[in-house]
A and B are shown apart, each in its own frame.
Chain A
Amino acid sequence: MCHEKNARIPCTIMKHKALAEGVYELVLEAPGIVGEAKAGQFVNLYCKTGGKLLPRPISICETDREEGLLRLVYAVVGSGTREISGYPEGDQIEVMGPLGNGYTLDQGARHVLVGGGVGTPPLVELAKRLSGEKVIYLGFRTQPYLVESLREYGPVHVATDDGSQGHKGTVLELMEEHQVTGGMLYACGPTPMLRAVQAYALAKGIPSQLSLEERMGCGFGGCVGCVCKVRAEGGEGFAYKKVCKDGPVFDGKEVLLT
């Protein structure tokens, strides 16, 4: 085991621009991280000011191993992401990762990928790494993003809450309408969407992998702060698992989204 490996690495911001209202693309020079990264893993970003000490976990959206570039896409939702959105290109930000388990790449012939809002980013690296046919379903509140990036890998179906693009309503309605099936369903998004995807997959008899979010104290398994519930081994009740270390991707048959 390599000792005293540096956990927080300052990375240079190569590109930083808005993709949609309040949604930013952040490209970092991070050869060490992209060399190891798997689809569905995440990195911790650290703020610099305002007494904000805890990590901001952000999914790996895409990696470019040749150039050593890490692409992240995040939404401004609070003070940390607001601060980060102000970092100019050429500036540095501290990053830890890759963290978590990531998606298991199914060897089957057809994959269904489902993203909701800022759950969409990890689907890009996932789509890139999966061989076989891919069909992609995305849900947004309003303005969609990353649709073009994903279209390279398969047909993309979009739903928006306000009907500004694609189907007006939820991504699940769209999936029901298409009666979509495949060998594996991969999803990332808000809990209500994951719950609906989980139920859909169970009803259709499709195995699923769901990527969860939880508030994190460390991101690497040190604090037991980020738990979710999974079915207890042998049936009755539940056990807590760490989202950062045992996840963020869980088997849809096991995880209990309460």
Chain B
Amino acid sequence: MRMEVEIAGVRLKNPVTTASGTFGSGREYEPYVDINRLGAVIVKGVANKEWLGNPAPRIAETYGGMLNSVGLQNPGVDAFMLEDIPFLRRFDTKIVVNIAGRTVEEYCEVVEKLRDADVDMLELNISCPNVKEGGVAFGIDPKMAELATREVKKVARQPLVVKLSPNVTDIVEIAKAVESGGADAVSLINTLIGMRIDARKRKPVLANKIGGLSGPAVKPVALRMVYQVAKAVDLPVIGLGGIMTGEDAIEFMMAGATAVSVGTANLLDPGATMRILDEMEAFLQENNIRDIRDIIGVVE
């Protein structure tokens, strides 16, 4: 059975990757996961400098999902290069660095530093608030999304995946914009902005008031968006949003994704990626599919 897939010239031994921010850089997962078995590790978002993130509470439970307002806490790209890349390089997997920034310049600063780093791919998180445009996310305006992609692409040495925000009316428009900006691939979806209120206290549950919704509750929305984007652009797609089982992952691939990321499922069960990979292989076996690429985009 062949599980290997290719994204922008980077070969993944199988389509299973980790969604940014739900796997750290893998250290916490080492007891439960054979990191060598992962197609790629997509690490938590990295910025040009240390970001402290938001105050607690940062987590709220919702039906079939969760809200988070971590606020991209990270130690900055220098610390990341010093500590996390050498750790991950011990394993036979691809390293994808998720990039956070509040301005195009900040994105570019991180990407420039990573030129000399031993990493395989970059993933641009355009769901970050653009401070120069009143804090509106880059990813909800096609012009800003295209501009950020183009500028980052100019300084990037590694292939660039652009991670799309689902908090838009027409995600296809944004996907096309980043394609014109020169993206090598797209990943979707990031979290859906949501909220919870503590009725007794008459206050939001999250200190940040609003946060990103993830987990199985978002899967139908994510799948629909992957399906629409995969049909509309000529780029490989990494599909994610609520994947809990091998069959969920297969659905994303049938909708047009070349690879998938497992997010919230890692938090609920640190061994989730291994189980999902086993379940995908079992599905192929049962259905006499010899090459996983044969199911990519089969749904009309």
Residues of A in contact with B (beta carbons under 8 Å apart):
1-8, 46, 50-55, 214-218, 220-228, 239-240, 245
- Which listed residue, B32, B56, B58, B65, touches A7 by the CB 8 Å rule? B32
Instruction: Determine if A6 and B271 form an interchain contact, defined as CB atoms under 8 angstroms apart.
Output: yes
Residues of the A chain whose Cβ atoms lie less than 8 Å from the Cβ of B34? 3-4
Instruction: Determine if B52 and A4 form an interchain contact, defined as CB atoms under 8 angstroms apart.
Output: no
Q: A50-B63, A53-B61, A227-B73 are in contact. Are A4 and B267 (CB under 8 A)?
A: no
Instruction: Determine if A225 and B68 form an interchain contact, defined as CB atoms under 8 angstroms apart.
Output: yes
CA distance A1 to B33 in the complex (A): 10
Residues of the A chain whose Cβ atoms lie less than 8 Å from the Cβ of B269? 7-8
* 13 new A-B contacts at CB < 8 Å, known A53-B215, A222-B28: A2-B31, A51-B65, A53-B61, A53-B64, A53-B268, A218-B270, A222-B24, A224-B70, A225-B58, A227-B53, A227-B58, A227-B73, A228-B56
Q: How far is the CB of A166 from chain B (nearest CB, A)?
A: 29
CA distance A240 to B216 in the complex (A): 29
- Which listed residue, A5, A6, A222, touches B267 by the CB 8 Å rule? A222
Q: How far is the CB of B169 from chain A (nearest CB, A)?
A: 27
Is B266 in contact with chain A by the CB < 8 A criterion? yes
Q: How far is the CB of B195 from chain A (nearest CB, A)?
A: 15
Instruction: Determine if A3 and B33 form an interchain contact, defined as CB atoms under 8 angstroms apart.
Output: yes
Residues of the A chain whose Cβ atoms lie less than 8 Å from the Cβ of B274? 4
Residues of the B chain whose Cβ atoms lie less than 8 Å from the Cβ of A55? 268
Residues of the B chain whose Cβ atoms lie less than 8 Å from the Cβ of A226? 56, 58-59
Query: Please, which residue of chain A has its CB at the minimum distance from the CB of B267?
Result: A218
Contact flags B264-280 to A (C-beta < 8 A → 1, else 0): 10111111001000000
Instruction: Determine if A51 and B63 form an interchain contact, defined as CB atoms under 8 angstroms apart.
Output: yes
Q: How far is the CB of B220 from chain A (nearest CB, A)?
A: 14
Residues of the B chain whose Cβ atoms lie less than 8 Å from the Cβ of A4? 32-34, 271, 274
Q: How far is the CB of A186 from chain B (nearest CB, A)?
A: 23
Query: Please, which residue of chain A has its CB at the minimum distance from the CB of B61?
Result: A54
Residues of the A chain whose Cβ atoms lie less than 8 Å from the Cβ of B32? 3-7
Residues of the A chain whose Cβ atoms lie less than 8 Å from the Cβ of B266? 218, 222
Is B107 in contact with chain A by the CB < 8 A criterion? no
Q: A51-B63, A53-B64, A227-B53 are in contact. Are A1 and B30 (CB under 8 A)?
A: yes
Residues of the A chain whose Cβ atoms lie less than 8 Å from the Cβ of B24? 221-222, 224
Contact flags B26-60 to A (C-beta < 8 A → 1, else 0): 01111111100000000010000000110011111
Residues of the B chain whose Cβ atoms lie less than 8 Å from the Cβ of A46? 268
Instruction: Determine if A54 and B66 form an interchain contact, defined as CB atoms under 8 angstroms apart.
Output: yes
Chain B interfacial residues counted at CB < 8 A: 40
Q: A222-B266, A223-B68, A223-B267 are in contact. Are A217 and B53 (CB under 8 A)?
A: no
Instruction: Determine if A224 and B73 form an interchain contact, defined as CB atoms under 8 angstroms apart.
Output: yes
Is B85 in contact with chain A by the CB < 8 A criterion? no
Query: Please, which residue of chain A has its CB at the minimum distance from the CB of B58?
Result: A225
- List, sorted by A's number, 14 A–B pairs whose CB atoms are closer than 8 Å: A3-B32, A5-B31, A46-B268, A51-B62, A51-B65, A53-B65, A53-B66, A53-B215, A53-B216, A215-B58, A217-B59, A218-B266, A220-B28, A227-B73
Residues of the B chain whose Cβ atoms lie less than 8 Å from the Cβ of A51? 62-65, 217
Instruction: Determine if B270 and A215 form an interchain contact, defined as CB atoms under 8 angstroms apart.
Output: no
Instruction: Determine if A54 and B217 form an interchain contact, defined as CB atoms under 8 angstroms apart.
Output: no
Residues of the A chain whose Cβ atoms lie less than 8 Å from the Cβ of B31? 1-3, 5
CA distance A25 to B11 in the complex (A): 52
CA distance A2 to B34 in the complex (A): 9
Residues of the A chain whose Cβ atoms lie less than 8 Å from the Cβ of B29? 222
Is B23 in contact with chain A by the CB < 8 A criterion? yes
CA distance A21 to B63 in the complex (A): 28
CA distance A7 to B68 in the complex (A): 22
CA distance A3 to B32 in the complex (A): 5
CA distance A227 to B54 in the complex (A): 9
Residues of the B chain whose Cβ atoms lie less than 8 Å from the Cβ of A216? 59
Residues of the A chain whose Cβ atoms lie less than 8 Å from the Cβ of B264? 53
Q: How far is the CB of A10 from chain B (nearest CB, A)?
A: 13
Query: Please, which residue of chain A has its CB at the minimum distance from the CB of B65?
Result: A53
- Which listed residue, A54, A221, A245, touches B59 by the CB 8 Å rule? A54
Residues of the A chain whose Cβ atoms lie less than 8 Å from the Cβ of B60? 215
CA distance A1 to B53 in the complex (A): 31
Is B159 in contact with chain A by the CB < 8 A criterion? no
- Which listed residue, B52, B57, B59, B64, touches A240 by the CB 8 Å rule? B52
Q: How far is the CB of A160 from chain B (nearest CB, A)?
A: 23
Instruction: Determine if A222 and B23 form an interchain contact, defined as CB atoms under 8 angstroms apart.
Output: yes
Residues of the B chain whose Cβ atoms lie less than 8 Å from the Cβ of A53? 61, 64-66, 215-216, 264, 268
Is B21 in contact with chain A by the CB < 8 A criterion? yes
Instruction: Determine if A223 and B22 form an interchain contact, defined as CB atoms under 8 angstroms apart.
Output: yes
Q: Which of B187-202 contact A (CB under 8 A)?
A: none
Query: Please, which residue of chain B has its CB at the minimum distance from the CB of A3?
Result: B34
